[in-house]
Structure 1
């Protein structure tokens, strides 16, 4: 049985994940972390990960970038592998995660969905085949999501940029907003209870190719993170992502 600490346990995604852990006999939830402990839990919950006494095989993180430093400190001290699914990190924070992976195994992905990671490969293939098409990315999420564009939108954009080396244009606006020849437009929509919707549009002369992924529930991200946890617990130090477990 894999013993898990959930960082961000009382957030919306954290609650979905904790339920998935309780429903899966392969896992045991030994502790949770939340910045505010405002409800009773059936497991030990802490406001700071550094206060945890329970031993775990892996930490699964669906929290906030502000918790990163303490989480890395705890992980390094206890040599506990990490599955990081939080988004909104700065480049400096991403470098911290990368450096940490030299001492502790780290699985990091802005999206734990199998479908999204298939879409990343399809986007790469399309960018190579349709290099002269205009490319736009539109992402839609619920009205409480704090970071924009989404981590998944940036993953998609980075796959394209790796092929074409185009520039990013975030939320085109103004009276002089004519599209540049080599750019990737990235646009964020926030509203209602949208779980997550990502579209990549390849617009050429008289034809359009569009790739789309729609998440219908948060459960797909929970299941993906558990798959990542099973993968990472016995791995050597290093930086891993969905490409290491998804056969494409």
Structure 2
């Protein structure tokens, strides 16, 4: 049984705990024991018992407390918190020197496949204009989503790989912005209602368009992926890992 600390007591944190406590191994035994769930009072994490892993889908403001817990206990860290600055991401990478750390903007297996397809389409549709559109519920605090940024990274990295030059994101357009630069990638964020998550990558070419779409019907797909990754990450050597490396490596 894997002992975990759940960071966050909102919708995602509550769902992670519910799914984790219901999860069973192949032998029918409980897969996880939640030894603590931390909400707004970060001081509770200072006294939380050592666990095999801490699963964090909370807020960027909790990073220092999470990092301190990992350093104190050596617990593996599975983080799905988005909106980190480059300095905060550097802190996460540095934690990988002492413990296995996984950070991903999305834990859906479908999104992992979408990223691979985006790279393939970028490679096979040279010269096509690329636009990324994401839609989430009206309570999401960061924009663009971490997943949209991951998809952007796939486009930029693939264009560089094939020698197409440097591509830059344009976050929305307004006013007399002029003709579209062929080396820009439009990033557009929609917010409303209770949408769990929709991501579209559009490739516009002469007289044709290709669109790749992923729709999340429930946040549970992210929880299932995060807990599956937790089971694999625990016991791995210290390091900073991607979702692909943990799940498919």
**TM score, norm. by length of structure 1:** 0.92
Aligned residue for 1:55, secondary structure, equals: coil
Q: Is the 8 A contact 2:38 2:45 kept in 1?
A: no
Task: Show the counterpart of 2:26.
Answer: none
Partner of 1:129: 124
Q: Deviations over 1:1-58 (max 9, x none)?
A: 00010001x11111111110111121111101111xxxxxxxxxx5435433322100
Stretch moving more, 160-169 or 145-154: 160-169
Give the alignment partner of residue 28 of structure 1, picking from 33, 53, 70: 33
The count of aligned residue pairs is 237
**Which residue of 2 is the match for residue 3 of structure 1?**
3
User: Is contact 2:81-2:105 (8 Å) kept?
Assistant: yes
For structure 1, list consecutive stretches of 5 or more residues without a partner in the other structure. Answer: 36-45
User: Helix, strand or coil: the match of 2:139?
Assistant: coil
The aligned residue for residue 142 of structure 1 is: 137
User: Which residue is equivalent to 2:245?
Assistant: 244
Unaligned runs of 5+ in 2: 24-29, 160-165
Distance in structure 2 (CA, Å) of the matches to 1:49 and 1:178: 54
- Off by >6 Å, runs of 4+ in structure 1: none
Contact 1:49–1:70 (Cα < 8 Å) also in 2: no
SS class of match (2:169): strand
Q: What TM-score results when the alignment is normalised by the length of structure 2? A: 0.92
d(CA) in 2 for partners of 1:128 and 1:49?
Answer: 48
Over aligned residues, Cα RMSD in angstroms? 1.3
